[in-house]
Structure 1
């Protein structure tokens, strides 16, 4: 699931953060947070707050837009991966983007 969220790690629960890694080139501490923990946290927030979202494979960004003039819903798709991916049966080449009618998928 791709979920855009504000990045404020200082507000994250301490038990989710591993700050044992030293800073790199003076950039400060690196926070090592497991991908599974972030996925679980994001899913919990989305479900608890009843935030509308769309499920997609890892690396596939999906944005829904509506054309005001026609009222048509469109998916804007972007595969951020160097490997092929899919969204609801539509094949996406590495780094491919596309726009398709939401009803088609």
Structure 2
């Protein structure tokens, strides 16, 4: 399985949202997306889009499932080499996860 994502950032949000596609840029429907360590999940629609309500006081990683098996973890907050903090899949950013099933 190969995974990549495109991101932009803003920390103030009420939800996680974005798209999940395969590497041929076709939307993946019924992919389960859950906030890690919480009972908070949703599924992608026929356009591959998901929107998941979040606690306004915290930001967590997202787990991506296909048929109840975890296929990826999305880091929603990250930095590289101590540079500025970046945010992924935070409200209004339309980030995209590309997944290849092998």
- Indicate the TM-score class for this superposition, using the shorter chain for normalisation: under 0.3
Q: How does the TM-score come out when normalised to structure 1? A: 0.27
More strand by share: 2
Q: How does the TM-score come out when normalised to structure 2? A: 0.27
Larger radius of gyration, structure 1 or 2?
A: 1
The structure with higher relative contact order (CA 8 Å, sep 6+) is: 2
